[in-house]
Structure 1
Amino acid sequence: MSQPKVYSIAPDTPFLPTLAERILDGTLLGDWPRGEDNPFWLSDITIVLPTRRAQLALARAFAERGHGLMPDIRTFGGEAPEEEPFLPPIEADPLPQPVSRLERRLILARLIEAWSRTEQGAQTLSTPPNAAEILALADSLGQVVDDLNTEQVPASALKALAPDELAENWQRVLGFLNIALEAWPAILDGRGKADASAIRNLRLERQAATAPLVFGERPVIAAGSTGSIPATAHLLGALSRLPRGALVLPGLDPDLDYEALLRTEEAPHGHPQYGLAQLLRRLGTPPSTVVELGRPGVRAEVIRQSLALANGTARWAQTRAALLPRMAEAVKGITILGARTADEEARAIALAARGALMAHKSVGIVSPDRNLARRIAAELLRFELEVDDAAGSPLFHAPAGRLVRQILSLAANGFAPVDLVALLRSRATVLGLERAQVARLADILETRVLRGRRPGPGLAGIRALVAERREEERLAPLLDALETAIAPVCALLESDTRFSAALLARTLAEAFARVAAPGPMPGRSELEAWAEELGGREGEGPLLPATGLDQVLYKLMAGFEVRNAQPRRDDISIWGQLEARLQSPDLLILAGVNEDIWPETADPGPWLSRGMRLAAGLEPPERKQGLAAHDFEMALGNGEVIVAYAQRMGTSPALPSRLLQRLEAFIGEDAKALREKGRVWLEAARSLDTVVSPRGALRPMPRPPAAARPRRLSVTEIETLFRSPYDIYAKHVLGLRRLDPLGEEVGVRERGTMIHEVFARFIIEGHDIHAAGALATLNAMAREAFSGLEAVAERRDIWLRRFEHAARDFLAFERDRDGRIASRHAEVSGEWTFTLLDNFRLVGIADRLDVLKDGTLEIIDFKTGSVPTPADMRNFDAPQLLLEAAMAREGAFEGMEPRESSALIYMKIAAGPEAFKPTDFKPGQGFSLMGAADEVGRRLQRHVTEFLLSDARPMAARIRPDVTRRYRGTYDHLARNEEWTLLEGDEE
């Protein structure tokens, strides 16, 4: 057979347009007749490309050159109908059916689960793996199988490894691998199936063997492949050796020392040319015989020098000096965009893409980071640009997948209010009713039933709250439909035994069908296909517990992608690295060019170390980095290209890719100009959501008429009147009340309130503090008060145990002071009317009013939060106890005679060392206790006169702010405090 005919197209030459031109001008056809003597000559040519997108782009290139009659353009390893022309004109055994990724995942997971229960497995795994971890291990084991198949290394090669040279954990792993990989072919044979990677090898080998019979003397051109798969390399060699066969490589560097590159001791696997060097060695073709089809410029030389081998960087000074006169020409068209965050990166890329589209340019965006790709697509929607993401979106994140996850969360969390409202608020939820009806009933359920309430467990707890609110008649249709839809999922999760993944899939699919609205929904068909395949695999995969199923679902849905079915504009696309390799848009944007993303981390996986892979004859993990570097090299040759990265990923600092760092290091000072060009888009991105002339909100100064201002306040609201009259305005004039949080967890504050109520009840009911059963009585009251916390039973039990300590402290406190107490009074209501202030009423409930034997009062305020600071007491910023003392002197409390107060005490009842340690109220210098009460009374009257009885005085916000407060006030957001306090220079 003849020598292979190998060609190359440099990175800075458009690959597919150049390929079309060299076919049309006959360079790649030899003496094949073309022109008027053979009008159908183009249709006799076969071209094989790596991807469908390249196939479509090449067809477009021929059409743009006036050729409507196309060549036969195929893809390597395409679908079976496409490959029929490749089939040999002889009988051949049919290829086996491929095992699906999901089926293989389940089978291997069962093997791993069984191994994890053995002594060897338990010693190897630090902790017993859960179901999600087992499924992840199964996927990585499947990758080992694919690597062995792809690189045509028999599994028996692992047995040749010397166990004694390995650490103990690797010896145990290797023992499992030898058993599992030996059993794996037999498992597949029993099912009449084979790995997709093995079938691909068989198909490619068959195509290589029969190529002379299929194509004969007709031209056939294989283009764009690097031959990284050995079977593909074999086919490339067979096609290139045909009488009119040709191989066109992407971006071969003819000047590279390939012998040095292939010396493994220099670790060249991450070099962009390593794969091409391997291919040429397999073909037996020296680089000097490769014909360049394009017109390589200085850009290609700069890229190749910047990505040279480590020993090549020693010659950078000489090569840079030689290229320096043309360096500006080389980097013309390159822009570097170093964003602060991934969010800013996506926004800047979207702006750059929009700018190119407005200039009637085509745009291609390449990113290996799928999350970043989705961010860019979302940013483009700002400008009504719907972009087609070639990779699609994972089923787990698609609308159909999200709805299934919401159903699972609702059942797993016992109909928690947040999960319930989230499901009902989804526009995909109908439950067999009209969507408008579901939305209306969801409003009623949320606002009238669930806000501020804590239901018991399950749907029964929701129904109990509905009955308490007397909303059964209106909400019954919704709750009945919800129960019918979700009951099978709840029953599955409440079962005592573990269940199969197949049962989970069938149950979730049935619930989805009952919950979801009919009609099109992104991901519906993919979800149905997933459920059908998984639901038919009873007995496969690990058995699942009823907990942690969200992560299990994520692993089970891996590999199911939702593609866009709607037509999108064709002048902008988001591609993966492989899809973009041969594309040449007017503007190519490389996104996510960060270290550990492009290229990705060289991770050998959990089953084989790097040394074990090399010893077995497998490529090291750095091989993927070499492919990523080649993709970077090809993309950077585009005429106009933007290279973007982020300086932070989430909350962690990030580095630009080593590929970009090497490029900038080689370019030198000219790299600053490339960054300056990127700064334009970064500044535009930063200013996109910024007001050009920012003007902060002014301090709110509402002036409602005096008649609309309140004539009744509680003693706890007087501090608010002193500090921020605006809050009184919002609450009493506007009538705004804070919505209680939905599904708020029981916290320390509520625990303190319950304890407070128990102690008050003990006093009100007149129990004897010296009785032998006093502690038992308090504990019984606490159990009754805490009985409504069935939803958090474990926390309730802990609090009840802690309450006993608080009860002992309470009794000790009361017994210690009993000798000076004449009578105790708890939860005493009071009202003080100021006739001279338009009958303004001050109301309140005193926690404790204890009459001392000397006839005075001791007023106690039990605090569940913090005690006021001494400064607040001195400055009258904590007026509650002083006002209660003034009310007591006026006889304003029910059933109490007018009395002077001799002691005002704060008592903290929360847990901790400060519990039940009294804090005396300390008035300011020059004031007695009742003198301070008189002063606070005068201040109250002045504030009422100024802020409540006058039309002129505005009810301003934060006139005396509490700078020690670390929580948001109820009306802070309404007053837009953060805006105008910053404007006025408030330190807080």
Structure 2
Amino acid sequence: MASDGKLFGADRPRVWTIPPGEDFLKVFARALAEDVHLSKHPDALADAIIYVPNRRSARALSAALFEAADESPILPPEIRALGDLESDELPPVAESSLIDLPPALSPGKRLGLLASMAQTFYRVNYETELPASSALSAAMELSRLLDQAHLSPDTDWGELPNLVKDADLAKHWESSAKFLEIITTAWPALLEEQGVSDPLERRLKAAQATAAAWLAHPPEAPVIIAGSTGATPAGRELMKAALQLPRGMIVLPGLDLDADEEARVSILGEVGHPQNVLFQTLNHLEVAPEAVSQWPGASLARDRQARRRMIHEALAPADATADWRDTLDQLAGAAEVSVEAFAADALQGLSIIEAADEADEAACVALILRETLEQAGRTAALITPDAGLARRVSALLRRWGVDAPPSAGMPLSRTLAGSFIGLCAQWATDPSDPTLLVSVLNHKLAAPMPGLSNLELYFLRGPRRWTSLDGLKESIRTRHEIEPYPNFTDEHQAEAQELVGKLIDIFEATGADLSQMGDIAGGDGLERIALLAAAVSETPLPWAGEDGAAASRLLEFVSEVSSYLTPMPPSALAELVNSQAAQMTVSLKQDEHPNLFIWGPLEARLQSADRVILAGLNEDVWPKRPAPDAFLPRHFRQQLGLSDPEDRMGLAAHDFAQLASAPDVTLVYSARRNDAPAVASRWVWRLKTLAEGALDDKAKVMLSPEGLDPLKLSEALKQQGVDASPQDFSVEPMPTMRPEGWPKKLSVTRVDTLQRDPYALWAEQVIGLVKVDPLGGDLGPAPRGTAVHKALEDFEEAGKPKTADYLLELLHRELMRVGETEEAWAARKAVWARTSEWYVNWRKDRDIGGGRPKFEVRGSIELDLEGEPFRLSATADRIEMNSTGEIVIVDFKTGNPPREKEVGAGLSQQMPLQALIAQQGGYEKVPAARVDQLHYVAFKAKPDAFTLGGKHNLPSEPAEMAELAEEGLRRLIVQYRNPSAAFLSAPRVKFVKYDNGFNLLARRAEWAGDTEDGEGSDG
């Protein structure tokens, strides 16, 4: 190694700091390389050991040293990850392999053992079996408490019984204290019995052993701990030892060198302060703050210094910032400038944006990042703990062909392999569930299966009528017995049955049908789920790539955890797989953009960019509120020696202070989150308050973005296209295209649709769209009405009892056949019983001339409309011939029938047009005759029956109603055969009883302000 420069030597400082806002690693590497002349001596640091917080900063430091050596080849030092407090993985210290330490428990085994102990506790103390999901939740809470205890060296669990005894606690907390004996007594005994150690405990012991090895044989080469705040006991042990080495050194991130004794005392009493952990570390190291020096090469420009002071004061303890004006006077006096000049310097390059909501926030950030690319070589970084915001910004950037993936990776559940395994786990619990079946087989990793689209369209939609794959196969076979929806062919039916047969074979071969197995051992269930995933995928796709490897680790982890638990319901196992997949993060090894970065606060530590954007700055997002203790009263923590949960708030505040001190930084937060009012981060509003205290009304202007405002630009992009449209442009659809002479035929119900919602009829018959039910959806009004009609028809069979009980039996049979659930039937059985009783009484009074009424009678007539034929058709629910030989048409409604006013207005012509068909002899096997009555029966919770006519200027005679209806029909059809006629979406919306299925296509919500579909049914 080259001779000592200004950094090393007996008379040089041993503790340094790099001020906030600097690119820590670049500044650190540059000064270190200059000190040892790295470009001339490429091996100058070859024997050095440098600790940095995490693996990402280790990689970044290696690149920074190469850059600092003028990009010439070097022999790099040994760079080790010390391990952040928030790191998912706890990296072992290298020297721990040289000492005889008990092996650490794996995360899965640790969680599984704790969950098993929780189950045992409830079994012994409460004689009850704790469900696996509850046991795992308890284990996670216990695991968190164990971690906190290991991070608090002064924890003394022995005081817990005394605290409980002395305190006036609710019974809940007494039970919790007893439950905590799992970690205070049983857990240490178990570790000793099995000869293993807790991961964090082993980490501390490894650090202590490393420190002892250093002191026994001090390394001659430099040992540097850079960028750590000393938040963990293990880190402080290594720091303390490093200071005793010949060339040991500590470089702290962002220590406030200007804080006086009074400020330091105040900071040490405020665990949420960003400087708290740094001054605690100095106390532990027995290093006076005055002995810490600023690292060479950091900027000392006046505006940079002012920004740092402003940020420090904005985040100072509340009691120290009671008088903003005095604070500002002191800051300005120290800088020998006016308050206004000081604030102007401090706020130079700092802007604050309040977005309307998360979508607006993401759009603004994406625009700022995109604008950065307009300047060659300039870099920008979005830093946020909100993973959803990060992904949304990344997606928005792809609109401009910019690929900047979030460096923190993504939840495994959002990857192809993770989502596929999660879906297979759920599917195994109910193989015939329509949504799960289609989701798995349509997944990108699933092998193509012929006939899947037909199975989905014709046999899986609407109410579910089966509970197993065998039941689904039978439902497909008998599907024609229910009103086909939509129409299907024999080929469709055979193809669907063949596909379901293949699925039955797959589940039998893999044993993956967990629905009939009751409680199951986790390992056994996971093996079957893995076999199922392999069987329906293009093997080995589920296990290929980074996400596939992570999916394998997921199953291994869940298998290890569940091996310690009692057998669990399949649904609990599937829930465990999916919840763990949501928590696991996987990096897909995507290349970072060379100029744009999307980091979480952990990834951003010790790094920077030309332009920094801190987003998601809302309370409980950044900073996030500490989770409440489930088993421990908050006021016990200090007495037990546990660290305060606000410690994490202090580390988060430290991250913010470091990043907000960058030369060019934008702070972004939302006024609303999750469709509810949101509060700006405490750091933002305190900074704004300080700025307003210095500049009054000028603060708002000073904190506004320079140049083009991204909020205004985002709004302009939203409006683009609308403003450029012609003045008479409307998004309301007004199609006029139709085949020549259309419509040539319509049913009487479609005539009403043409009047009420022409667009729906046009979409259905002209462009051929068919409304389909959702997968496994609720029973709709149409099939329910069909079932009621069939029950009423069968009720008239000769030789069958004509009692309310028999009708109720028929209703139950038919409703079950079309997909009504037993739960829904049970809930409405009493209603159906009352309605059946009413119907039997109504029926007794009918004059049917001694004959049997006809049901579901088809009929049609041909009309000549200006020389062009038109066919009018109908299906009458019930036709009676009375004792005088006249026709009575009865129409059943399971909703509200139309009344005279509606019929008289010409909007409900179904019954008058049926009368027209009947009097011309258009119904099958019903001779032409005078129509005596048009009778409605409302077969519903409050049944009703009435004869149409005689009110609201509606004629009382059906023949007159039919004549008026025919005139109106002729005008209507001729009008819509005119090529210029437009088919409007529900022009008489108040008469549209329910959405015909085309409101979304018509985009009614955009131009009509519709927020809800209509209600009701025509039965």
Normalising to structure 2: TM-score of the pair? 0.86
**Equivalent position of 1:965 in the other structure:** 992
User: How far, CA to CA, are the matches of 2:936 and 2:412 in structure 1?
Assistant: 58
Over 3 Å counting, the alpha-carbon distance change for 1:963 and 1:790 in structure 2 is closer
**Equivalent position of 1:422 in the other structure:** 439
Deviations 1:91-116 (A, max 9, x none): x6322222121211111111222333
User: How far, CA to CA, are the matches of 2:126 and 2:164 in structure 1?
Assistant: 18
- 2:96 and 2:207 in contact (8 A); partners too: no
SS of 1:849's equivalent in the other structure is strand
- 2:476 and 2:493 in contact (8 A); partners too: yes
User: How far, CA to CA, are the matches of 2:1009 and 2:832 in structure 1?
Assistant: 44
- 1:906 and 1:921 in contact (8 A); partners too: no
The answer to whether residue 606 in structure 2 is matched with residue 554 in structure 1 is no
Deviations 1:850-874 (A, max 9, x none): 4455665543321122322554233
Amino acid at match of 1:700: M
Worse overlay, 271-280 or 498-507? 498-507
**For 2:421, which of 404, 412, 427 is the aligned residue?**
404
- 1:725 and 1:947 in contact (8 A); partners too: no
Report how far residue 51 of structure 1 moved.
1.9
Over 3 Å counting, the alpha-carbon distance change for 1:485 and 1:700 in structure 2 is same
Normalising to structure 1: TM-score of the pair? 0.88
- 1:337 and 1:679 in contact (8 A); partners too: no
**Equivalent position of 2:135 in the other structure:** 134
- 1:47 and 1:223 in contact (8 A); partners too: yes
**Equivalent position of 1:281 in the other structure:** 283
Amino acid at match of 1:108: L
**Equivalent position of 1:530 in the other structure:** 554
Amino acid at match of 1:562: V
Residue identity (%): 28
- 1:227 and 1:279 in contact (8 A); partners too: yes
- 2:411 and 2:586 in contact (8 A); partners too: yes
Amino acid at match of 1:325: A
SS of 1:242's equivalent in the other structure is coil
Matches within 5 A, 1:324-473: 324-359=340-375, 360-430=377-447, 435=448, 438=449, 440-451=450-461, 454-467=464-477, 469-470=490-491
- 2:933 and 2:947 in contact (8 A); partners too: no
Over 3 Å counting, the alpha-carbon distance change for 1:479 and 1:590 in structure 2 is same
Report how far residue 812 of structure 1 moved.
1.8
**For 2:528, which of 487, 493, 507 is the aligned residue?**
507
Matches within 5 A, 1:32-47: 40-47=43-50
**Equivalent position of 1:831 in the other structure:** 860
The answer to whether residue 224 in structure 2 is matched with residue 224 in structure 1 is no
The answer to whether residue 137 in structure 2 is matched with residue 104 in structure 1 is no
Report how far residue 767 of structure 1 moved.
6.4
Over 3 Å counting, the alpha-carbon distance change for 1:624 and 1:978 in structure 2 is closer
- 1:827 and 1:847 in contact (8 A); partners too: yes
- 1:500 and 1:538 in contact (8 A); partners too: yes
Structure 2's unaligned 5+ residue stretches are 1-9, 84-88, 333-338, 479-489
Matches within 5 A, 1:815-826: 815-816=844-845, 824-826=853-855
Deviations 1:203-242 (A, max 9, x none): 2112222323454443332221111112312321221233
User: How far, CA to CA, are the matches of 1:874 and 1:209 in structure 2?
Assistant: 99
SS of 1:365's equivalent in the other structure is strand
Matches within 5 A, 1:562-581: 562-581=586-605
**Equivalent position of 2:327 in the other structure:** 319
User: How far, CA to CA, are the matches of 2:38 and 2:740 in structure 1?
Assistant: 97
User: How far, CA to CA, are the matches of 2:170 and 2:463 in structure 1?
Assistant: 57
Deviations 1:788-829 (A, max 9, x none): 257834445555565333211211222355699987443333
Worse overlay, 68-77 or 308-317? 68-77
The answer to whether residue 713 in structure 2 is matched with residue 684 in structure 1 is yes
User: How far, CA to CA, are the matches of 1:87 and 1:114 in structure 2?
Assistant: 34
**Equivalent position of 1:844 in the other structure:** 874
Report how far residue 775 of structure 1 moved.
2.8
- 1:269 and 1:622 in contact (8 A); partners too: yes
- 2:49 and 2:78 in contact (8 A); partners too: yes
Deviations 1:649-696 (A, max 9, x none): 222221111111111111114244424459822333344454332443
The answer to whether residue 292 in structure 2 is matched with residue 270 in structure 1 is no
Report how far residue 577 of structure 1 moved.
1.7
Amino acid at match of 2:469: L
User: How far, CA to CA, are the matches of 1:711 and 1:551 in structure 2?
Assistant: 55
Report how far residue 897 of structure 1 moved.
4.6
User: How far, CA to CA, are the matches of 2:809 and 2:101 in structure 1?
Assistant: 76
**For 1:700, which of 716, 720, 734 is the aligned residue?**
734
Report how far residue 157 of structure 1 moved.
4.5
SS of 2:736's equivalent in the other structure is coil
Over 3 Å counting, the alpha-carbon distance change for 1:478 and 1:878 in structure 2 is closer
Over 3 Å counting, the alpha-carbon distance change for 1:521 and 1:907 in structure 2 is farther
The answer to whether residue 79 in structure 2 is matched with residue 74 in structure 1 is yes
SS of 1:845's equivalent in the other structure is strand
Deviations 1:234-287 (A, max 9, x none): 3212212333322221111133355665569x9611111111121121122232
- 1:221 and 1:240 in contact (8 A); partners too: no
Q: How many residues align?
A: 953
User: How far, CA to CA, are the matches of 2:627 and 2:261 in structure 1?
Assistant: 26
Deviations 1:67-123 (A, max 9, x none): 543552423447999954x569xxx6322222121211111111222333455698x
**Equivalent position of 1:606 in the other structure:** 630
**Equivalent position of 2:908 in the other structure:** 878
Structure 1's unaligned 5+ residue stretches are 27-32, 123-127
SS of 1:627's equivalent in the other structure is helix
Over 6 Å off, 4+ runs? 1-4, 33-39, 78-82, 819-823
User: How far, CA to CA, are the matches of 1:452 and 1:492 in structure 2?
Assistant: 24
**Equivalent position of 1:151 in the other structure:** 152
SS of 1:494's equivalent in the other structure is coil
Amino acid at match of 2:135: I
**Equivalent position of 1:163 in the other structure:** 165
**Equivalent position of 2:803 in the other structure:** 774
**For 2:795, which of 734, 758, 762 is the aligned residue?**
762
- 1:334 and 1:674 in contact (8 A); partners too: yes
User: How far, CA to CA, are the matches of 2:103 and 2:19 in structure 1?
Assistant: 39
The answer to whether residue 825 in structure 2 is matched with residue 792 in structure 1 is no
Matches within 5 A, 1:709-724: 709-724=742-757
Over 3 Å counting, the alpha-carbon distance change for 1:242 and 1:823 in structure 2 is closer
SS of 1:400's equivalent in the other structure is helix
- 1:55 and 1:73 in contact (8 A); partners too: no
SS of 1:97's equivalent in the other structure is coil
Deviations 1:732-754 (A, max 9, x none): 44444334443333245533431
Over 3 Å counting, the alpha-carbon distance change for 1:539 and 1:973 in structure 2 is closer
Report how far residue 300 of structure 1 moved.
0.1
SS of 1:956's equivalent in the other structure is coil
User: How far, CA to CA, are the matches of 1:80 and 1:867 in structure 2?
Assistant: 70
- 1:345 and 1:645 in contact (8 A); partners too: yes
Deviations 1:284-311 (A, max 9, x none): 2232222223336111001011111111
- 1:87 and 1:210 in contact (8 A); partners too: no
User: How far, CA to CA, are the matches of 2:635 and 2:833 in structure 1?
Assistant: 62
Root-mean-square deviation (CA, aligned residues, Å) is 3.5
The answer to whether residue 29 in structure 2 is matched with residue 12 in structure 1 is no
